[in-house]
Amino acid sequence: MKFTEEHEWLRAEDDVVVVGITEHATTQLGDIVFVELPEVGTTVVKDEEIVVIESVKAASDIMAPIDGEIVEVNTTLADNPALANEDALGAGWFFKIKPSDSSQMDGYMDEAAYNALIA
């Protein structure tokens, strides 16, 4: 698993990468009440804002961590956005992206480096 400074996690699964946000991020955001996800089939570029998260406190944007095509989104978040708080690293995933350049993953932190960042 890789982590970004924007508190996203990326997990490679076969030829796609699953993306969500970390427990640290969901704790900071507070109770999440709305998640707007990109449409399946959208081609996105790194650092493009593609997810909107609304918590009880504020709205935040999540950026595409890598270039690629959105191949699946977590539709259960539409009805149950709190899943992102309850299981940030598992059932609360946001989208799956098919990377156009998987070497972009290499620039991100491993778990130890991320834990040091948020410590």
Partner 1 sequence: MSDLLHTPLHQLHVALGAKMVPFAGYSMPVQYPMGVMQEHLHTRKKAGLFDVSHMGQVIIKGADYLAAATALEALIPVDIARLGRDRQRYGFFTNEAGGILDDLMLANRGDHIFMVVNAGCKAADITYLKANLDGFVVIEITDRALLALQGPAAEAVLSALDSKAANMRFMDVTSLSLLGTECWVSRSGYTGEDGYEISVPACQAEALAKELLAHEDVEPVGLGARDSLRLEAGLCLYGQDMDDGLNPVEASLSWAIQKVRRSNGARAAGFPGADIILTALETGTDRHRVGLKPEGRAPMRQGVPLFQSESDANQIGFITSGGFGPSVGGPVAMGIVADGLHQPGTVLYGELRGKRLPVTVTSLPFIPANFKR
Question: Please, which residues have CB within 8 angstroms of residue 12's CB and are 6 or more apart in sequence?
Answer: 18, 102, 105
23 binds partner 1 (CB under 8 A): no
Q: How far is the CB of 50 from partner 1 (least distance, A)?
A: 12
By CB under 8 A, which span of 4-12, 30-38, 96-104, 108-116 interacts with partner 1? 30-38
Question: Please, which residues have CB within 8 angstroms of residue 87's CB and are 6 or more apart in sequence?
Answer: none
Per rule CB under 8 A, count of chain residues that contact partner 1: 13
Strand partners, 95: 19, 73
Which residue has tokens 């998987």? Answer: 102
The whole-angstrom separation of Cα 91 and Cα 76 is 9
Q: How far is the CB of 31 from partner 1 (least distance, A)?
A: 4
Q: How far is the CB of 106 from partner 1 (least distance, A)?
A: 32
Q: How far is the CB of 84 from partner 1 (least distance, A)?
A: 13
Choice between 22 and 26, CB closer to partner 1: 26
Distances from the Cα of 10 to the Cα of 6, 31, 33, 118, angstroms:
12, 22, 23, 17
12 binds partner 1 (CB under 8 A): no
Site of interaction with partner 1 (CB under 8 A)? 30-31, 33-34, 36, 52, 54, 56-59, 78, 81
